[in-house]
């Protein structure tokens, strides 16, 4: 080992679970909790370089993160190809069949292909997927530390940026003005429960951040109501890219009806139905004749962040042409480098690429921006929840200008940790009785509707 190798060896890993304020955003499972768990990863090398990573903070992720943190001591931050094997060794069984599901107090929680992660609407949850999400936070922290030590931005370690700014879209949600019982922090967005409210929310996103592309989280109300909201958006923002994502809540027939109603205004339809098989049926229906006989519905791509979230799920979905766009997400796919591998596979199959987001802070937004800057095929605006997250652990929040985040050339991710903020959000986590430490949107909904259970799919 050279001195330079020694300097890049990991000397310390610090894991800090936090609870971050989250607004009452509605989805098909229920509503976001007032606070959501995240895990902040800090590592320090022998040479004194520090690296930051961020991932899900629910208990099941924390349980895997601790042994991985311990096992990383003494290894080089450059040993990224060795990370998956190390994680497999220390994080326990990850057979795809070891499916997880926890929806507190929900006797009707789905199992099998229709099961959805209670904390993130990701599709079937497995131990292997959890491990990849944990691993992704460590990979980002290693890249950040390596970049700082080398004086290079993360995008340079990924082969270099192909764009100087990464475009993001407005992520619109039906929402309440406040959480049930007035819990949590109150913001000034107000309720958005109808087309007028959705358009007003979109207008504020456009005016504040410059977003020109809009995605509505659907699966909340009967489809006709959501179709009306998209129509209202199309009228308010003519020609702008629009997306609707009901997280698999619809049947094949409903998906096709909605596609017929919106095909002239949607950029893509995201996860209309649950599972690869239903998505393949919807895609086949879209390739066939429309209800008006001769006219074809072709031209409306289906996108997913639910039925294709691991390499194992690609073969069936792509060979059946079930999806035409995959939403990458480095938290799902095991890091920034694997996100680039996904891009290569998609390119080979002629499948497009967009980017998914779940509730996240600035460290993850910086990581998303760095990797997105390196992928030429990423031509759709990326999703981000960041504008909904008013709290962060950074000294300076990342800014959207004209709907875009600048791709910095500062070493690493180019962000700095605010230790006081981190400590305050960690104290909130410590003070919690456990009720908020695991995201569960159905459990949060039961505060407003005690009889609520996560709806079985297809819901409509
Ligand atoms: O595109 C998606 O499916 C998501 O962003 C999943 C998220 O969990 C979203 O539905 C949310 O935050 O409620
Ligand atoms: Mg989605």
pLDDT-based confidence at residue 107 (cuts at 50, 70, 90) = very low
What is the whole-number distance in angstroms between the Cα of residue 57 and the centre of ligand 2? 20
What is the whole-number distance in angstroms between the Cα of residue 433 and the centre of ligand 1? 25
On the question of pLDDT at 119 being above 70, the answer is no
Tokens of 62: 């924390």
Q: Of 155, 179, 215, 217, which one is the catalytic site residue? A: 217
On the question of pLDDT at 194 being above 90, the answer is yes
Residues 143 and 146: their CA atoms lie apart, in Å, by 5
Count other C-beta atoms under 10 Å from residue 116's C-beta: 26
Q: Which residues contact 256 (CB under 8 A, 6 or more apart)?
A: 282, 285, 286, 297
Residue 226 phi/psi, 5° resolution?
Answer: -75, -35
On the question of pLDDT at 318 being above 80, the answer is yes
- Ligand 1 closest atom vs CA 26: 13
Q: Pocket of ligand 1, candidates 27, 117, 125, 359: which has the most ligand atoms within 8 Å of its Cβ, to mutate? A: 27
217 classed as catalytic = yes
* Burial class of residue 335 (count of CB atoms within 10 Å of its CB; 0-12, 13-18, 19+): buried
What is the whole-number distance in angstroms between the Cα of residue 276 and the centre of ligand 2? 14
pLDDT digits (tens, 9 = 90+) for 132-162: 999 999 999 999 999 999 999 999 999 999 9
Residues 288 and 5: their CA atoms lie apart, in Å, by 58
Average pLDDT, the chain: 93
For residue 41, give Cα distances in angstroms to 248, 268, 337, 441, 454.
32, 35, 18, 25, 32
Tokens of 173: 């949600």
What is the whole-number distance in angstroms between the Cα of residue 121 and the centre of ligand 2? 8
pLDDT-based confidence at residue 245 (cuts at 50, 70, 90) = very high
330 classed as catalytic = no
The percentage of the chain sitting over the pLDDT mark of 90, rounded to a whole number, equals: 88
pLDDT digits (tens, 9 = 90+) for 40-98: 999 999 999 999 999 999 999 999 999 999 999 999 999 999 999 999 999 875 444 44
Ligand 1 environment, Cβ below 6 A: 25, 27, 120-121, 217, 245, 247, 305, 356-359
Interval 219-241 mean pLDDT:
98
Buried b (16+ CB within 10 A) or exposed e, 84-99: bebbeebbeebeeeeb
User: How confident is the model at residue 103, as a pLDDT?
Assistant: 43
pLDDT-based confidence at residue 101 (cuts at 50, 70, 90) = very low
pLDDT digits (tens, 9 = 90+) for 372-428: 999 999 999 999 999 999 999 999 999 999 999 999 999 999 999 999 999 999 999
Q: Of 32, 129, 356, 385, which one is the catalytic site residue? A: 356
Residue 458: asked if its preceding bond is cis (omega within 30°), the reply is yes
- Name 37's bridge partners: 19
User: How confident is the model at residue 124, as a pLDDT?
Assistant: 78
- Nearest residue by C-alpha to atom 8 in ligand 1: 120
* 319 vs 104: which has the higher pLDDT: 319
pLDDT digits (tens, 9 = 90+) for 287-302: 986 665 544 456 799 9
Q: Pocket of ligand 1, candidates 121, 357, 387, 455: which has the most ligand atoms within 8 Å of its Cβ, to mutate? A: 121
Q: Pocket of ligand 1, candidates 119, 175, 216, 217: which has the most ligand atoms within 8 Å of its Cβ, to mutate? A: 217
What is the whole-number distance in angstroms between the Cα of residue 305 and the centre of ligand 1? 9
- Ligand 1 closest atom vs CA 357: 5
User: How confident is the model at residue 120, as a pLDDT?
Assistant: 59
pLDDT-based confidence at residue 102 (cuts at 50, 70, 90) = very low
For tokens 């919106």, the residue is 262
Domains and CATH numbers, the chain: 3-154+420-431 (3.30.390.10), 161-416 (3.20.20.120)
Q: How many helices (H) and strands (E) does the chain have?
A: 15, 12
On the question of pLDDT at 221 being above 60, the answer is yes
Please give the ipTM for the structure prediction.
0.99
């Amino acid at each position: 080992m050279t001195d330079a190798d020694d300097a890049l060896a990991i000397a310390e890993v610090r894991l800090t679970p936090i609870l971050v304020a989250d607004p009452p955003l509605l989805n098909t499972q229920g509503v976001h909790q007032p606070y959501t768990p995240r895990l902040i990863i800090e590592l320090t090398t022998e040479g004194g370089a520090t690296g930051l990573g961020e991932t899900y903070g629910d208990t099941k992720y924390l349980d895997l993160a601790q042994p991985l943190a311990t096992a990383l001591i003494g290894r080089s931050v450059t040993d990224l190809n060795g990370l998956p094997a190390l994680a497999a060794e220390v994080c326990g069984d990850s057979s795809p069949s070891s499916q997880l599901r926890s929806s507190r107090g929900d006797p009707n929680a789905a199992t099998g292909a229709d099961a959805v992660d209670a904390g993130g609407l990701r599709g079937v949850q497995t131990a292997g997927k959890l491990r990849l999400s944990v691993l992704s936070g460590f990979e980002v922290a290693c890249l950040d530390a390596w970049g700082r030590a080398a004086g290079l931005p993360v995008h340079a370690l990924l082969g270099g940026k192909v764009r100087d700014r990464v475009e993001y879209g407005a992520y619109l949600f039906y929402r309440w003005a406040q959480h049930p019982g007035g819990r949590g922090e109150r913001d000034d967005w107000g309720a958005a429960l109808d087309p007028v409210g959705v358009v007003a929310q979109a207008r504020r996103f456009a005016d504040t951040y410059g977003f020109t592309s809009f995605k509505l989280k659907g699966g909340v109300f009967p489809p006709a109501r959501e179709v009306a909201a998209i129509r209202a958006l199309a009228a308010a923002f003519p020609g702008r890219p629009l997306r609707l994502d009901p997280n698999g809540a619809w049947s094949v027939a409903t998906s096709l009806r909605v596609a017929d109603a919106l095909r002239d205004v949607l950029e893509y339809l995201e996860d209309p139905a649950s599972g690869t098989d239903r998505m393949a049926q919807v895609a086949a229906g879209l390739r066939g004749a429309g209800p008006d006989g001769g006219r074809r519905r072709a031209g409306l791509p289906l996108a997913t962040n639910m039925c294709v979230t691991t390499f194992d799920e690609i073969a069936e979905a792509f060979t059946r042409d079930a999806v035409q766009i995959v939403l990458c997400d480095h938290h799902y796919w095991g890091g920034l480098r694997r996100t680039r591998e996904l891009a290569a596979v998609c390119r080979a199959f002629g499948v497009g690429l967009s980017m998914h987001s779940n509730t996240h802070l600035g460290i993850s937004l910086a990581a998303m921006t760095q990797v997105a800057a390196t992928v030429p095929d990423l031509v759709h605006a990326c999703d981000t929840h960041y504008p909904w997250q008013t709290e962060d652990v950074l000294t300076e929040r990342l800014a959207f200008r004209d709907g875009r985040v600048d791709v910095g050339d500062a070493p690493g991710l180019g962000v700095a940790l605010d230790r006081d903020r981190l400590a305050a959000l960690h104290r909130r986590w410590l003070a919690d009785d456990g009720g908020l430490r695991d995201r569960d949107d159905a459990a949060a909904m039961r505060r407003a509707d005690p009889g609520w259970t996560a709806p079985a799919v297809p819901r409509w």
